[in-house]
């Protein structure tokens, strides 16, 4: 008789306690790879993490749509019991473990390294750097169709068109969606018009973005912006932790501003 592995049993209970159930209620197609969505999240248990939220979205979209890290923020809405959030999802390529027994039993060879599953989906056999095999879904995902199928009608949830866009001004530090890279960027607003912003990004690049691309903003005074502009080009801020470390040193003379910057980097609901 096989001995029961209690650790595995306990882990299943823990996973259920930390589970998060996601639902998409509204969306706006940004481009062929990026979609803005309004979601609700029902918490099951108390130890909910950002990782739980991200996995919930991935599960909802069968791994073919993934959360843009740090792009989600909570929306206040008194009529719903669940948490309401708005953020971005990008088209991801679904991958699966390569199991030779499963491949032989349920998949049909279509061409060299190309297989068809029982649901007519096509999968490519690929190799990791260590030489191990895995399956990657073949072709480009139709993210708009995927999200449309997952959408749940809810008349009480807010719509994207009703969510007000923050009026962003010059000399503000902003988090924004980089639509070309499908990721969140950070930078300083050097020029602000009604519909567009000129931003000096933390990657030493001047970018023109739409005002609707702003996720969150922190107001800085002119002296701080001038100081930031002098040194921002020397920083390697791809890693959020390195970003915080860098700004902690830069704003050692003004800890209140540093705390605001940490908040804008860390407070997004999904990462």
3-state per-residue secondary structure call for the chain: CCCCCHHHHHHHHHHHHCCEEEEEEEEEECCCCEEEEEEEEEECCCCCCHHHHHHHHHHHCCCCEEECCCCEEEECCCCCCCEEEEEEEEECCCEEECCHHHHHHHCEEEECCEEECCCCCEEEEEECCCCCEEEEECCCCCHHHHHHHHECCCCCCCCHHHCCCCCCCCCEEEEEEECCCCEEEEEEEEEECCCEEEEEECCCCEEEEEHHHEEEEEECCHHHHHHHHHHHHHCCCCCHHHHHHHHHHHCCCCHHHHHHHHHHHHCCCEC
Supply the pLDDT for residue 177: 93
Supply the pLDDT for residue 236: 43
Supply the pLDDT for residue 45: 57
Which residue reads 């020397």 in tokens? 234
Along the chain (271 residues), what's the average pLDDT of each consecutive run of 10 residues? Answer: 56 51 86 88 63 78 81 73 82 79 89 86 81 77 77 80 74 87 86 85 81 84 60 49 68 72 64 43
| pTM recorded for the entire structure | 0.65
Axis crossing angle, helix 255-266 with helix 240-250, rounded to the nearest 10 = 170
Q: What angle do CA 38, 214, 270 make, to 5 degrees?
A: 50
- The tally of CA atoms less than 13 A away on the side-chain side of residue 108 is 7
Supply the pLDDT for residue 179: 92
Domains of the chain listed by start with CATH number: 6-92+145-160 (no CATH), 95-135 (no CATH), 165-266 (2.30.30)
Supply the pLDDT for residue 258: 74
């Amino acid at each position: 008789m096989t001995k029961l592995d209690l650790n595995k049993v306990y882990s299943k209970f823990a996973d259920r306690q930390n589970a998060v159930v996601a639902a998409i209620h509204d969306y706006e197609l940004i481009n062929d790879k990026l979609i803005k969505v309004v979601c609700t999240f029902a918490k099951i248990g108390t130890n909910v993490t950002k990782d739980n939220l991200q996995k919930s979205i991935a599960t909802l979209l069968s791994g073919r749509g993934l959360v843009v890290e740090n792009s989600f923020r909570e929306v206040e809405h008194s009529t719903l019991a669940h948490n309401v959030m708005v953020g971005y999802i990008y088209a991801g390529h679904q991958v699966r473990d390569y199991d030779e027994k499963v491949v032989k039993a349920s998949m049909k060879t279509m061409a060299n390294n190309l297989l068809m599953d029982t649901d007519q989906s096509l999968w490519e056999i690929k190799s990791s750097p260590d030489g191990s095999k895995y399956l990657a879904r073949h072709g480009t995902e139709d993210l708009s169709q995927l999200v449309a199928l997952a959408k749940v009608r809810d008349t009480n949830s807010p719509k994207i068109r009703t969510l007000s866009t923050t009026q962003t001004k010059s000399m503000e530090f902003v988090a924004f969606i980089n639509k070309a890279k499908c990721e969140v960027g950070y930078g300083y607003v050097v020029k602000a018009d009604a519909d567009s912003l000129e931003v000096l990004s933390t990657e030493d690049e001047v970018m023109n973005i739409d005002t609707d691309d702003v996720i969150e903003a922190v107001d800085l005074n002119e002296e701080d912006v001038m100081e930031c502009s002098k040194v921002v080009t020397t920083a390697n801020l791809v890693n959020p932790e390195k970003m915080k470390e860098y700004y902690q040193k830069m704003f050692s003379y003004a800890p209140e501003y540093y705390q605001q910057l940490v908040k804008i980097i860390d407070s997004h609901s999904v990462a």
